[in-house]
A and B are shown apart, each in its own frame.
Chain A
Amino acid sequence: MTAISLSGIEKSFGATSVLNGIDLDITDGEFLTLVGPSGCGKSTLLRILAGLEAPTSGTVAIGGIAVNDMRPARRNLAMVFQSYALYPHLSVAQNMMTPLKLRDLPLAGRLPVLGPLIARTRYRAIIEQVRDTAQILKIDHLLDRKPGQLSGGQRQRAALGRAMVRKPVAFLMDEPLSNLDASLRIHMRSELAELHRALKTTFIYVTHDQAEALTMSDRMAVMMDGQILQLGAPDEIYNDPRELRVAEFVGAPKINLLPGSVDKEGHARCLDLPLSRVTTDAPAGPVRIGLRPEHLSLCDKDVSESFSGQVVHKENLGADIYLHVAIMNASQRLVVRVSPVEGRTVSFGQTVHVSRERGQAMVFGNDGRRLDLSRSLAEDVAEVA
């Protein structure tokens, strides 16, 4: 079932166009991530969905009903902001009560002192709800504190609590983890994913961090320049990017891109090494060949089809070591993932030989589009070379 659908969304601020025709259907209960570099329009898209910004054209529909003219307050969405946007003068409990009070209490019940007396039973229900939510998020001991007295992670939870306390159609999250330190961010990633599994509500999550998108989402939409370049499961986006820009954006360290060419028969060559697969649908000409660092490995000098170059930089991440190897007279740089055992013996300036894992190279045409390769002629290639 489609919970939310965006069709033909365009947005421009004056002459600057921010979103160019976004179509997106979000299924009920899925965790969808909008990911892209800053300025790609992902936050604007989320704010259009929330109703905080009006699209220049296009339709936003929630549960099959167009909500373009509906106030944000009526759309029944909950949002977690990057700055958390907690009310600094209210305690955590009062912060979490606010959405319930504003929605469920009549005007008289919201009076400062008399309110709790007038609508006593509803008040009790609200407090109960707040306490339950706080327990889920493990912030029940912080309910009486003001946001200013909380740490970043606790504020994050309080903001989540304020969003969770009523049952919204979907949670919208605008880079909620970007203000946390690295270890807490990684911890919250798994917690958010667990929370999503427990709540079974739609999550729409905006981030510029491809790692967050890859780890948490059911589907991710890679956005750039106001367009969705590719939409799919994280696996698919990583292993099968349809565009050069997607391949470059997703994956850390970045994919290695080498110049190559395709000849008339469709044989692609990377530098002067032929690939074992051929393309069927591309004209002959220069192409770009993408090789992920994990598909490269060190080899002996005499292995055929290897690159050789000098190690110019070594990144030790503990479990992996990334070697930066300058090849082709230092005109190109390759990042190679090696295991710590292999990497330990390698030193700067040393000449190493790198071979690729067969069948993993991605070929991108001149226009940035991915060219499909087929294996059918795999055996012939060696002879051609």
Chain B
Amino acid sequence: MQSTKAHWWFVGPALFLMVVILLMPITIAGALSFTNYSLGNPGADFVGLDNYEKIFTRSTYEKMFGATFRYVFVVVPLSVGLGLGAALLINSTRRFGDLYKTIYFLPVMAALIAMAIVWEFAFHPTIGIVNSTLERGCGSFLETWHWYAKGCERGFPLWLTDRDYAIWTVAFIGIWQGFGFNMVLYLAGLTSVPRELYHAAEMDGAETAWDRFRLVTWPMLGPTTVFVVTISFIRSFQVFDTVEAFYPQGGGPSKSVYVMMFAIYEKAIQQNLMGIGAAITVVFLAFVMFLTLAQRWLVEKRVHYT
């Protein structure tokens, strides 16, 4: 058989683009993370693992991991759960389904940076709608709740500037913004569940909605769930715009909202410390990679049935 070079022409373009726009930047970032390079400097010194040592020892970065993981592990389960719930509800209504879809999907379409300004107003301690609404509840039965009574007495929390509340408030906005996207994915997944399976479940004696959900809906949504969870993880690891909009001066009260993306931005762009920025990027990539692979290994095998 005559050997030709045709195969290179087939895979060549894709390979070239992958190397240039994907592998090379990652390799460069990896290489930079072992140096103290700054933009504009003629050269850089090799510093070994210094940058990584800083990341895993300094308290700033400890706070960075704390904020990132808090955010991720609150936003992912809640936005996936709410997305599924909303999808099931919309799927079960005959009327206004499209209207609800649009409403819940609006936050996804809206630019988060613009929405952040609206939320900043809403959470404003004196003129914000959130705290003024809460104050109206004072004197009612709600005061039996200890936290609420305390709020009435000494004022409700400064949601965005109290270090005990800031990350949760940002996480709340992340959920609000993200669950519509998950809902749309779940709605698509629900349309592919064969109706006959529900009929079979009904004939088999699944009388309650919960039985049918357990027996048919949840297992059949398995592949969708894997995808939704993976996407949600990556998206919430990448949270940046809310933090930048609320705390342009660096990471919120006591750096409690100092998420990884913001840290990369602050170090590499604002402070021109390319080396440490690259090192955080590599750690970030490693996390996302690890989570994605773990998902595949643990779950993928069990959700594709054929």
Residues of A near any B CB (own CB < 8 A): 47, 50-52, 71-74, 77-79, 81-83, 85-90, 98-99, 102-103, 146-148, 162
| Contact status B197-A87, CB under 8 Å | yes
Q: Does B250 reach chain A (CB closer than 8 Å)?
A: no
| Contact status B200-A81, CB under 8 Å | yes
Bound together, the chains give a CA A73 to CA B219 distance in angstroms of 21
Residues of B near any A CB (own CB < 8 A): 194, 196-197, 199-207, 211, 215-216, 219-220, 222, 303, 305-306
Q: Given A50-B203, A72-B203, verify A98-B215 contact (CB < 8 Å).
A: yes
The residue in chain A whose Cβ has the minimal distance to the Cβ of B211 is A102
11 pairs, CB–CB < 8 Å, chain A vs chain B: A71-B202, A73-B205, A73-B207, A77-B203, A85-B194, A87-B215, A89-B219, A98-B215, A99-B204, A99-B205, A102-B207
Complex contacts, B203 vs chain A, CB 8 Å: 50, 52, 72-73, 77-79, 99
Most buried by A among B200, B222, B306: B200
| Contact status A89-B196, CB under 8 Å | no
Complex contacts, A147 vs chain B, CB 8 Å: 305
Bound together, the chains give a CA A146 to CA B200 distance in angstroms of 17
Pick the residue among A52, A81, A88 that contacts B305 (CB under 8 A): A88
CB distance from A43 to the nearest CB of B (A): 12
Bound together, the chains give a CA A26 to CA B201 distance in angstroms of 25
The residue in chain A whose Cβ has the minimal distance to the Cβ of B197 is A85
Bound together, the chains give a CA A47 to CA B198 distance in angstroms of 13
The residue in chain B whose Cβ has the minimal distance to the Cβ of A98 is B204
Q: Given A72-B202, A99-B205, verify A148-B306 contact (CB < 8 Å).
A: yes
| Contact status A74-B222, CB under 8 Å | no
| Contact status A52-B205, CB under 8 Å | no
| Contact status A79-B200, CB under 8 Å | yes
CB distance from B298 to the nearest CB of A (A): 16
* Cβ-closest 8 pairs across A and B: A148-B306, A102-B205, A85-B200, A88-B305, A99-B204, A89-B219, A85-B196, A103-B205
Complex contacts, B196 vs chain A, CB 8 Å: 81-83, 85
CB distance from A8 to the nearest CB of B (A): 24
CB distance from B21 to the nearest CB of A (A): 38
Pick the residue among B194, B216, B220, B303 that contacts A83 (CB under 8 A): B194
CB distance from B123 to the nearest CB of A (A): 42
* 5 further interface pairs, Cβ-Cβ under 8 Å (given A81-B199, A85-B194, A90-B219): A72-B199, A79-B200, A79-B203, A85-B199, A87-B215
The residue in chain A whose Cβ has the minimal distance to the Cβ of B203 is A79
| Contact status B205-A89, CB under 8 Å | no
Bound together, the chains give a CA A50 to CA B203 distance in angstroms of 8
CB distance from B219 to the nearest CB of A (A): 4
CB distance from A358 to the nearest CB of B (A): 51
CB distance from B54 to the nearest CB of A (A): 45
